[in-house]
């Protein structure tokens, strides 16, 4: 897989096919058994621990459901990385936090606690925290999960606009086919740990591959069957009766 600078790319596939594992490999939480992961010209699985941490400071991660620190205010959640990884004065951190929150439309929530936010608002605050250090690489793990239609559209638009504004590279792991196809530049389909299809959103929509067609259109039966493999139905019923 290639993830060019400035592009927004999504990885799709059934649960368990390896999407989240791939992001862990990119972030260095896992090391590949074979092959390599190269980020910004460096092979991450060859880096020392200190160099890996330095590389991670160039990355942003939006976790599924946001993963905000529940005992910190919205302001402190967004300021956390700035305080942890920089020597910026608090006055400058203040301005940067408000800028990030303003970018996601939530500057007015800076004094609230995560428990006071709706699901969609929490996801947007988490997005502001993700881009706090202007990362070159942003990874999203199911950013649309559990959102209402309005929040889903808002978050999708923010993901696209923030990527373009930062000139970053963004990788989205998602099951939300229709929303992601609206905003991404390229799509990879995975199954059983390998790439089974790839292309632009238009190419994926028009794909004649049975697996891709079933996944994109949400069809109940196809290469991925509705019934889990088992013995004959009549035979199972007779065995139960005995």
Domain residues for the domain of 107 are: 8-241
* 17 within domain boundaries: yes
CA 136 to chain centroid, in Å, comes to 15
The residue whose two tokens read 């460096």 is 42
Q: pTM of the prediction?
A: 0.79
Mean pLDDT of the chain: 83
d(CA 75, CA 235): 62
184-231: pLDDT as tens digits = 999 998 877 778 888 898 888 877 777 776 777 666 666 565 556 677
pLDDT of residue 235: 73
Render pLDDT for 66-76 as a digit per residue (tens, 0 to 9). Answer: 688 889 899 99
**Number of folded domains that form the chain:** 1
Token pair for residue 86? 């920089």
Query: What sign does the dihedral 45-47-50-54 (CA atoms) show?
Result: negative
Residue 108 included in any domain: yes
| Residue 110 pLDDT class (50, 70, 90 cuts) | confident
Does 227 reside within a domain? Answer: yes
The secondary structure element, H or E, covering residue 123 is helix 119-130
Domain-embedded: residue 152: yes
The reported pLDDT for the residue numbered 75 is 93
Contacts of 184 (CB under 8 A, 6+ apart): 8, 9, 10, 172, 201
2 in any annotated domain:
no
1 belongs to a structural domain: no
Q: How far apart are CA 127 and CA 9, in angstroms?
A: 17
Question: Contact 169/139 with Cβ under 8 angstroms?
Answer: no
Residue 56's pLDDT is 85
Tens of pLDDT, residue by residue over 20-46, are 888 888 888 888 888 888 888 888 888
Give the torsion sign (CA, 182, 183, 184, 189). Answer: negative
Q: Over the stretch 2-20, which tens digit does the pLDDT of each residue have?
A: 998 989 999 987 777 778 8
Residue 65, in any domain of the structure: yes
Which CATH number goes with the domain that contains 148? Answer: 3.40.50.300
The C-alpha atoms of residue 224 and residue 189 are separated, in whole angstroms, by 14
In a domain, 229, yes or no: yes
Question: Could you tell me the CA-to-CA distances from 161 to 88, 168, 226 in Å, in that order?
Answer: 26, 11, 38
């Amino acid at each position: 897989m290639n993830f060019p600078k400035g592009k927004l790319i999504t990885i799709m596939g059934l649960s368990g096919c390896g999407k989240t594992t791939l992001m862990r490999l990119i972030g260095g939480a896992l090391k590949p058994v074979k092959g390599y992961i190269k980020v910004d010209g460096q092979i991450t699985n060859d880096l020392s621990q200190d160099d890996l941490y330095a590389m991670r400071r160039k990355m942003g991660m939006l976790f599924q459901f946001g993963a905000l620190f529940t005992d910190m205010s919205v302001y402190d959640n967004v300021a956390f990385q700035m305080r942890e990884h920089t020597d910026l004065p608090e006055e400058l951190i203040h301005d940067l936090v408000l800028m990030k929150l303003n970018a996601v439309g939530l500057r007015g929530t800076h004094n609230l606690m995560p428990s006071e936010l709706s699901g969609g608002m929490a996801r947007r605050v988490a997005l502001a925290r993700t881009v706090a250090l202007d990362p070159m690489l942003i990874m999203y793990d199911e950013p649309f999960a559990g959102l209402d239609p309005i929040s889903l559209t808002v978050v999708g638009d923010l993901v696209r606009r923030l990527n373009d504004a930062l000139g970053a590279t963004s990788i989205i792991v998602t099951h939300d086919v229709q929303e992601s196809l609206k905003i991404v530049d390229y799509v990879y389909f995975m199954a059983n740990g390998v790439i089974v299809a790839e292309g632009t959103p238009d190419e994926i929509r028009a794909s004649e591959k049975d697996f891709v067609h079933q996944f994109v259109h949400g069809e109940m039966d196809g290469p991925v069957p509705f019934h889990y493999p088992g013995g004959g139905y009549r035979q199972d019923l007779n065995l139960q009766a005995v």
